[in-house]
């Protein structure tokens, strides 16, 4: 077998990287993620983790086992760790190749060294240079100074969209060392690092692009008020957003990386731009979560809050499961939560409920809850959603109290009124 047609998936456990298994491309490279492929765990790894299906497995769909898994397309978890969006455009340009399906294998194999979660591609990581550089100031990063850009590129990092972080907004990972200096993500020894961050810039140069990004800090505040899982410590500085990473922490000079898998990967989506129905995501949450009621409740509440706050960008890579080293598997904190209703490109909802459970554009959450919760859970979810809708009623006042953007506050006020009205009008046979 041509070595180029294979790559090694590594997994971070117990403070170090392990070779977990091998992906072999069987189909033609020109078909991209739609090409036939085989994933097989390494025998030594299986001996140590046989039957595990959590932080130890490359995917919740692929528990650790001896048998190889052959599919007519790539394993869906690979799309979580390869470049997409702004980073994909950057790397295809750097490689001087067409940005189409035929680039997929090169992007996975060459530029998947530091994605979110606890997976990476070894062939890509081997190219990432680790050094004891003294680091940069925060202003160097914000201004994307010439020296920072040059050094980041020498390290194999991308400063217009990282090799592992997906989406359209330019963003990349950075590390903060113990001396308060900043480095491209993955370029420093672990013992030097204090914390990990994502730096995010506006998608474009319009006023709306800036407001959308700046409002992510207010939206996390609102999500926290609503009782959802949030990311603490957002920093908005000079039109640039610094976001603490929730998939990695440091203890005793060692990194602890948690597994991270998107709803797209959990439901077997192997093409970018394709989304499962909301009910399928709920089914995977029910199947994999170690606290299914709490996570399904959170998922429903996030859907309601997305409507209230005008976050229409609900594609299946904006929902993820976190796999912790203590065995817990649960929804990650909410991320990419922003007022996309004001985006000039008019972003539409990507993940939808089946037609019987939507009235026009509006989900019928009471009817939805009757279907996705068990008989034993229905009374509890009824009470929980009544409390949540009461919070929706006063969201506009909360937005005013934190001095959120006036246009956003006014539009959210209309959304909240519509939600409360439809909630009252919806049939309820609980």
Question: What tens digit of pLDDT does each residue of 349-372 get?
Answer: 999 999 899 988 889 999 999 999
Is it the case that residue 160 has pLDDT exceeding 60? no
Arch. (CATH architecture) of 258-425: Orthogonal Bundle (1.10)
Residues 361 and 371: their CA atoms lie apart, in Å, by: 19
Is it the case that residue 163 has pLDDT exceeding 50? no
State residue 204's pLDDT score.
78
β-bridge pairing 6-13 and 119-121:
antiparallel
Three-class SS state of 219: helix
Is it the case that residue 161 has pLDDT exceeding 70? no
pLDDT digits (tens, 9 = 90+) for 119-150: 999 999 887 767 777 888 999 888 876 677 77
- Distances from the Cα of 145 to the Cαs of 66, 151, 193, 221, in angstroms? 49, 10, 22, 31
Calculate ∠ Cα 233-140-94, nearest 5°: 100
- Distances from the Cα of 71 to the Cαs of 38, 63, 307, in angstroms? 6, 15, 37
pLDDT digits (tens, 9 = 90+) for 2-26: 788 999 999 999 989 999 999 999 9
Give me the phi and psi of 288, to 5 degrees please: -105, -30
What are the structure tokens assigned to 338, written together? 């922003």
Mean pLDDT highest for which of 77-86, 176-185, 223-232?
Answer: 223-232
Residues 279 and 267: their CA atoms lie apart, in Å, by: 11
Q: What is the pTM of this model?
A: 0.93
- Mean pLDDT for 75-101 is 88
Q: How confident is the model at residue 162 (pLDDT cuts 50, 70, 90)?
A: very low
CA diameter of the chain: 64
Rounded (10°) CA dihedral 149, 154, 160, 164: -150
Which range has the worst mean pLDDT, 169-173, 211-215, 230-234, 250-254? 169-173
Computed over every residue of the chain, the mean pLDDT equals: 91
CB atoms under 10 Å from CB of 98, counted, come to 9
Would you kindly state where each structural domain of the chain is located, as residue ranges?
3-201, 258-425
Residues 152 and 67: their CA atoms lie apart, in Å, by: 40
pLDDT digits (tens, 9 = 90+) for 290-327: 999 999 999 999 999 999 999 999 999 999 999 999 99
């Amino acid at each position: 077998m041509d070595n180029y047609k294979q790559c090694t998936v590594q997994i971070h456990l117990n403070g170090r990287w392990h070779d977990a298994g091998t992906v072999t491309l069987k189909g033609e490279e020109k078909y991209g993620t739609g090409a036939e492929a085989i994933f097989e765990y390494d025998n030594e790894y299986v001996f140590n983790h046989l039957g595990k299906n959590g932080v130890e497995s490359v995917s919740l769909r692929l528990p650790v086992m001896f048998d190889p898994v052959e599919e007519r397309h790539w394993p869906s978890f690979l799309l979580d760790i390869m470049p997409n969006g702004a980073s994909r455009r950057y790397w295809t340009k750097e490689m001087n190749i067409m940005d189409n399906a035929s680039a997929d294998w090169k992007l996975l194999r060459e530029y998947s060294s530091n994605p979110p979660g606890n997976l990476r591609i070894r062939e890509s990581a081997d190219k990432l240079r680790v050094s004891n550089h003294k680091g940069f100031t925060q202003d160097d990063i914000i201004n994307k100074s010439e020296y920072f850009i040059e050094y980041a590129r020498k390290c194999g990092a991308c400063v217009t969209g990282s090799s592992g972080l997906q989406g359209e907004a330019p963003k990349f990972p950075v590390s903060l060392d113990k001396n308060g200096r900043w480095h491209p993500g993955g370029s420093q020894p672990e013992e030097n690092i204090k914390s990990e961050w994502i730096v995010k810039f506006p998608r474009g140069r319009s006023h709306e692009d800036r407001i959308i990004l700046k409002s992510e800090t207010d939206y996390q505040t609102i999500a926290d008020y609503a009782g959802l899982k949030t990311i603490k410590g957002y920093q908005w500085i000079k039109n640039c957003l610094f976001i603490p990473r929730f998939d990695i922490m440091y203890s005793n000079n060692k990194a602890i990386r948690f597994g991270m898998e998107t709803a797209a990967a959990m439901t077997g989506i192997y093409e970018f731009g394709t989304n499962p129905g909301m009910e399928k995501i709920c089914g995977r949450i029910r199947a994999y979560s170690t606290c299914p009621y709490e996570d399904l409740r959170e998922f429903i509440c996030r859907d309601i809050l997305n409507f209230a706050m005008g976050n229409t960008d609900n594609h299946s890579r904006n929902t993820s499961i976190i796999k912790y080293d203590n065995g817990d598997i649960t929804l990650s904190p909410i991320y990419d939560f922003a007022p996309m209703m004001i985006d000039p490109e008019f972003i539409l909802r990507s993940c939808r409920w089946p037609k019987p459970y939507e009235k026009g554009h509006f989900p019928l959450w009471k009817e939805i809850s009757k279907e996705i919760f068990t008989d034993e859970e229905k009374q509890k979810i009824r009470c929980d959603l009544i409390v949540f809708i009461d919070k929706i009623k006063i969201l506009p006042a909360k937005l005013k109290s934190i001095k959120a953007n006036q246009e956003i506050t006014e539009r959210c006020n209309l959304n909240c009124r519509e939600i409360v009205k439809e909630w009252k009008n919806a049939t309820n046979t609980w």
